[in-house]
Amino acid sequence: MNAIRHDFRSDTVTQPSAGMRAAMAKAEVGDDVFGDDPTVNLLEQRMAGMLGKDAALFVPSGTMSNLLALMSHCGRGDEFIAGQKAHLYVNEAGGAAVLGSIQPQPIAHQADGTMALAEIEAAIKPDDNHYARTRVICLENTFGGRVIPVDYMAAVSAIADRHALGLHLDGARAFNASLALGMDIRDFTAPFDTVSICLSKGLGAPVGSVLIGRHDLIATARRHRKMLGGGLRQSGILAAAGLYAIEHNVHRLADDHRRARQLAEGLSRHEALSVSMPDTNILWVNAAADIADRFDAYLEANGIAVTGRYGQQRWVTHLDVGDDDVAGALALVDRFFDKA
């Protein structure tokens, strides 16, 4: 790849700010496996309190957080329900099956990113020893940057309650979703038994996610974290970055949402580009078939970095993308079409 001038690949590419680095440098630490790292303990208490849940667990990654949630809800041979394109089904290397012996039951997504309620309920297995036992339904919000409606989450929660199932939220970008809806994160996550929130995406920390939920589920997750090699020692240095992130970088997510809309509006001026209007900080772009390869090559040659998924370009705004980056990228795209 040529030198990157405008990096829209993901909100995971952010660099720790000077303030975050200072917080990490002065963090008070202990041995978290013994439970005596005060900064980790504070982060876990703070996150549990923000969501109104019993407890929380700091882990190295969102992938581990989701896996720990599934392993806490399910035993060997049990089953989880998730969307066909859900991150914990598609993008986590089959960890639930490989490491947890947990069977996925994927459900097709509708055009708005939800799963049909009737299809979720129909996929729940009866109490019959021919079948894996359904234990938990998993939702993702945001989903590809799209905010899944609160009423829909409540309807899925009602299904889970009727069938005595757990409910897990892959809320890697839950703060993006709750901010876009104008909701407190506590109210937004209220229906869920477990919630995974990533600190190293829009919130800008270099490492880490937090799993939040019921005491019994988090206690089980803590045991499994050790089993999976996620028991860190003086991890308060990393937790300090997470504390800084939730104290300073939540409300500024609105800037990322605004810049994503500016990008979408600017790109959609070109008829050859089909652009989704973003709910949050992620937009999807389809280039017409006759220019797609040239457009991809032009962006790379001019230092505009994006990712490709499902045959589309994915553009992501984040705290290291400023107004000048948006304006610069749009000017370069305009130049491409002026010459086309």
Q: Which of 304, 298, 293 is nearest to 263 (CA)?
A: 304
Mean pLDDT score, 134-140? 98
Instruction: State phi, psi for 229 to the nearest 5 degrees.
Output: 85, 20
pLDDT recorded at residue 28 = 98
Inside any domain, residue 199 = yes
Inside any domain, residue 115 = yes
pLDDT recorded at residue 313 = 96
Determine the residue type at 152. Y
Inside any domain, residue 218 = yes
Q: Clarify whether residues 78 and 154 are in a common domain.
A: yes
The last residue of one of the domains, among 249, 282, 312, is: 249
Residues 181, 184, 187, 188: is their CA dihedral positive or negative? positive
Residue 275 sits in a domain of what CATH number?
Answer: 3.90.1150.10
Q: Which residues pair with 134 in a beta bridge?
A: 79
Q: Clarify whether residues 288 and 180 are in a common domain.
A: no
C-alpha R_g of the chain: 21
Omega prior to 39 cis, within 30 of 0? no
Domain extent at residue 275: 252-338
Total number of domains in the chain: 2
Whether 173 shows a pLDDT value over 60: the answer reads yes
Count, residues in the chain: 340
**pTM of the predicted model, to two decimals?**
0.96
**Tokens linked to 54:** 């019993």
Assign 283 a pLDDT band (cuts: 50, 70, 90).
very high
Inside any domain, residue 5 = no
65-74 as b/e, with b when 16 or more CB fall inside 10 Å? bbbbbbbbbb
**Tokens linked to 152:** 């829909």
Inside any domain, residue 158 = yes
Task: Give 187 or 276, the one with higher predicted confidence.
Answer: 187
Is-contact 30 36, C-beta < 8 A? yes
Inside any domain, residue 160 = yes
Instruction: Convert the pLDDT of each residue in 174-207 to its tens digit.
Output: 999 999 999 999 999 999 999 999 999 999 999 9
Assign 85 a pLDDT band (cuts: 50, 70, 90).
very high
- DSSP-derived pairing of the beta strands 273-275 and 209-213: unpaired
Assign 340 a pLDDT band (cuts: 50, 70, 90).
low
Mean pLDDT of the chain, nearest integer: 96
Residue 58 sits in a domain of what CATH number?
Answer: 3.40.640.10
pLDDT recorded at residue 303 = 96
Chain center to CA of 103: 22
Q: Clarify whether residues 91 and 148 are in a common domain.
A: yes
Determine the residue type at 155. A
Is-contact 178 251, C-beta < 8 A? no
Mean pLDDT score, 151-174? 98
Inside any domain, residue 4 = no
The last residue of one of the domains, among 220, 249, 278, is: 249
Q: What is the DSSP string of 218-272?
A: HHHHHHHHHHTT---SSTHHHHHHHHHHHHHSSTTHHHHHHHHHHHHHHHTTSTT
CA dihedral in degrees (76, 80, 83, 86; nearest 10)?
-50
Q: Clarify whether residues 23 and 155 are in a common domain.
A: yes
Q: Clarify whether residues 41 and 181 are in a common domain.
A: yes
Q: Clarify whether residues 266 and 235 are in a common domain.
A: no
Q: Clarify whether residues 69 and 121 are in a common domain.
A: yes
Half-sphere exposure of 67 (CA within 13 A, CB side): 26
Q: Which of 115, 147, 93 is nearest to 281 (CA)?
A: 147
Q: Clarify whether residues 218 and 133 are in a common domain.
A: yes
Mean pLDDT score, 252-258? 98
Q: Clarify whether residues 212 and 224 are in a common domain.
A: yes
pLDDT recorded at residue 2 = 73
Whether 156 shows a pLDDT value over 80: the answer reads yes
Q: Which residues pair with 62 in a beta bridge?
A: none
Q: Clarify whether residues 142 and 218 are in a common domain.
A: yes
Q: Clarify whether residues 90 and 123 are in a common domain.
A: yes
The last residue of one of the domains, among 201, 231, 249, is: 249
Inside any domain, residue 13 = no
Q: Clarify whether residues 41 and 170 are in a common domain.
A: yes
Could you give the angle at which helices 292-301 and 323-339 cross, rounded to 10 degrees?
Answer: 130
Is-contact 331 297, C-beta < 8 A? no
